[in-house]
Structure 1
Amino acid sequence: MKVSRIIAMASAALGIGLLTYPAKSAEPTEITFFIWAGSNQGIVPTEVIEKYRKDHPDVKINILESNNTITYPKMVAAYRTTPDKPLVHCGFFNVDSITKGDVEGLWAPLDPKRVTNLANIEPKYARPDNKGTPYMMSGIGILYNKNVVKEPPTTWADMWDPKNRGRITMFDYDNRMLVIAARLNGGGEDNIDPGFKVWSENAKNFRALVDSNDAVKNLLVSGDAWMAPWFSGLSYVWIREGAPLGFAIPKEGTIGFPLYLSMVQGVNPAQKAVCEDLINALMSPANAGRYSKLTFAVSLVKNATLDDEQKNDPLLNAELAATSIPFDYGSIGQDAAEWRERWDREVKFKLR
């Protein structure tokens, strides 16, 4: 078998095409790819990047490992001052950064002819004009203490049921809980008043409003709080660690919290080609399935290769994504400041 054929077959197995990269130019192509730090989130993208470096030794790929809270504001500052010299060219971004970036005009469209795996995404989370692609998600359901809650919650309305006075904890200013309450009471993102009415009337359900993962975990494990809206991935980890917790999927569905791969405006054609190759490789069935496995996320690449555990566990399988509720996070982001003020006045005031 010819060497060129062997190389082509090996590259195809890893989801990286050799033929799509543009011809060499006088200046070597250099990009910075952003990945999240910790929790196995860097393993698969680092492997994909290392493979690409070997196949394209004239390309320099820098890896920036951090979080969106720190990195996104720096990206925006660079885009405003030197739009043709991005700080980060492509990488991983949460829904908060994606929606803020939409306002800034930060994201560049992906070419479906190059990023062919766009054809395999969960359509309800598709981005307008392919300005990024959904990759993974965590489904927000109801995490509860099994020692005190004998019958698992069945509906989001259990969160504000008067029988649960003093039993609920959640992140302070969690707008998702406002939206789900509004949706189940005749409103939604564009009519949030029913959500505020629900929580204002049932503010005494809160045992505590917190600002950290550990606070949620400690309150639930101790039994000081009985229930919390929480992420499927983290719930899976805590349950595997032996915490006395259960994860309930409400009959209305979990709330989808998607994670994206995206590319910024200002990339030149050669950088665009590298970014699109890397994103397409990460979306291959094998890489998407492995990333999902390592990070306990649910793949939004529908043909991801899943093992038996991923297929059979309701916190990890594709059904969680298919039945999840997509929110209009862009609309939520535009109203977040006003909702925060109203939350203080109409809900937290009643906890004093």
Structure 2
Amino acid sequence: MLAALSCLLAVPAAHAADTEIVLATWGGSWGAAIDRNAIKPFEQETGIKVRVISGVSLANMRMVASQRAHPQIDLIMSTSQDEVRAYNDGLLDAIDVKDVPNLAAIPPFGVRRDGKGRAMGAGMWVYPYGIAYRTDQKLPDVKCWNDLWGPAFKDKVGVSSPRYMNGYFLLMINRIAGGTEANVQPGLNRIHQMGANLLAVIDDSAAQQRLLASGEVSAVPIISSAAYKLVDSGAPVRFVIPCEGAPAGLDTLSLVKNAPHRDAALKFMDFYTSAKIIGSVAAELQIQPVNDQVTVSDAQRKYTLTKDQMAKLVSFDDQSVIRNQDAWTAAWDREIAPMTKR
């Protein structure tokens, strides 16, 4: 009799659990845009409450790791590299298109997959890592990565080390120079040939914006959203996708393994990655959505890529980045960093 009563009492508790999910995501203006354009509409449409934990990608993922035995977070937004590391570590669950139908609208570039072809999460948006340069200093137009080696750019170029943006600058130059993720020496050699053009190593977007705005550097590899903030502020700056292509960072939404509210979490994931919702979030953030079905407004068009530009986006093997980034950084510190000490 008591056992039967316990079973009956357990049913309402299970339903009650489905009325809330816990999402770990960014704070600040990013968190506010996600709340306005996605969380509140989801709550209104479904009646499911979304409780938010705010923090940077890596810190949130460490929180998920600390709760491995008893997960309290259902979903996490992160960079694709943090997603892959966490998935490798058994912290995240694979996603099936039958549970998240909108996964089918995300192109292959936007879905990282494991060795069995299972999706580790759902891509939300990409941020191309191109070149921003000053247009008021009588410099040649920058159209290609190789332009940064030209004589007009002596003491004018800032670049990023492998510590920043997953080593994308080194990896892009390395690919142009004929290297691979297994051998970045061609890229290091080519960057070393920049010689007196290389003025500074700048490993955060705020410093890149500041130095470019002040004119202390004239050209710098930078993510699109940071570059467009400068453009919108009135700075004489142009952002380009170089002729050889541009690496692109990817942010993802992932399901925590043994999520306490799995079904409701999957419902939110499908809602969030729909063209309407992800399109409205991306529009406020002035960033490129991944969903192929998003309709881009005239106001948003300046922040998004054409089909030709999308075709120029370059991706690198995340597993190689995870395995080798420390070694690339050590090599950079030996061979490239001393060049700016003059």
Same fold (TM over 0.5): yes
Q: State the shift of 1:65 in Å.
A: 1.8
Aligned CA distance change for structure 1 residues 246 and 67 (closer, same or farther; 3 Å): same
1:172, CA displacement in angstroms? 3.6
Q: Distance in 1 between matches of 2:88 and 2:107?
A: 24
Shift of 1:322: 3.9
CA 287–54 in structure 1, closer or farther in 2 if over 3 Å, else same = closer
What is the root-mean-square deviation in Å for CA atoms of aligned residues? 2.3
User: Does residue 339 in structure 1 map to residue 324 in structure 2?
Assistant: no
Of residues 233, 238, 245 in structure 2, which corresponds to 1:253?
A: 245
Tell me what 2:96 maps to.
111
Q: Is the 8 A contact 1:183 1:195 kept in 2?
A: yes
Does the CA contact (< 8 Å) of 1:196 and 1:343 recur in 2? Answer: yes
Deviation at 1:48, TM superposition (A): 3.5
Aligned to 1:288: 278
How far did 1:149 drift? 4.9
Please say if residues 41 and 294 of structure 1, whose CA atoms lie closer than 8 Å, have aligned partners that are also in contact. Answer: no
Partner of 2:211: helix, strand, or coil?
helix
Q: What pairs with 1:35-184 in structure 2 (closer than 5 Å)? A: 35-45=25-35, 47-54=37-44, 56-57=46-47, 59-79=48-68, 82=69, 85-128=70-113, 129-161=118-150, 163-173=152-162, 174=164, 175-184=167-176
The 10-residue stretch of structure 1 (315-324 or 208-217) with the greater mean CA deviation from structure 2: 315-324
Q: 1:149 to 1:254 in 2, by over 3 A?
A: farther
Offset at residue 242 of structure 1 (A)? 0.6
Q: Give yes or no for contact 1:203–1:348 (8 Å, CA) kept in 2.
A: no
CA distances 1:93-122 after superposition (whole Å, capped 9, x unpaired): 112312321331222111211211111112
- 1:160 offset after TM fit, Å? 3.6
For 2:295 and 2:340, the matched residues in 1 are separated by: 47
**Partner letter of residue 100 of structure 1?**
R
* Equivalent runs, 1:219-298 vs 2, <5 Å: 219-268=211-260, 271-298=261-288
CA contact (8 A) 2:124 2:253 kept: yes
Which amino acid in the other structure matches residue 177 of structure 2? N
1:107–1:131 contact (8 Å) kept in structure 2? yes
Distance in 2, Cα, partners of 1:188 & 1:216: 27
Match of residue 317, structure 1, among 296, 300, 305: 305
User: Which residue in the other structure is 1:330 paired with?
Assistant: 319
User: Quick one: distance in 2 between partners of 1:44 and 1:338?
Assistant: 36
Name the SS of the counterpart of 1:141 in structure 2.
strand
How big is the shift at 1:39? Answer: 2.4
Change (3 A) 1:50 1:249: closer
Structure 1 residue 180, shift from structure 2 partner: 0.9
Shift of 1:54: 4.5
Aligned to 1:213: 205
CA shift at 1:221, angstroms? Answer: 1.8
- The CA deviation at 1:49 is 3.2
Structure 1 residues without counterparts, runs of 5 or longer: 1-23
Whether 1:185 aligns to 2:177 is: yes
SS at match of 1:26: helix
Residue 240 of structure 1 aligns to which amino acid in structure 2?
D
Aligned residues, how many? Answer: 321
Answer whether contact 2:205 2:222 (CA < 8 A) is retained. no
What secondary structure, in the 3-state scheme, does the structure 2 residue paired with 1:92 have?
strand
- Higher mean C-alpha displacement, 209-218 vs 138-147: 209-218
Alpha-carbon distance change, 87 to 322 in structure 1, aligned in 2, over 3 angstroms: farther
Compared with structure 1, are the counterparts of its residues 127 and 95 closer, same or farther at alpha carbon in structure 2 (3 Å cutoff)?
Answer: closer
Structure 1 SS opposite 2:77: strand
Alpha-carbon deviations, 1:48-69, whole Å to 9, x = none?
3334444555x55311122113
Change (3 A) 1:201 1:47: closer
Query: When the two structures are superposed, what TM-score results if normalisation uses the length of structure 2?
Result: 0.86
Identity of aligned residues (%): 22
Q: 1:302 to 1:292 in 2, by over 3 A?
A: same
The amino acid across from 1:229 in the alignment is: P
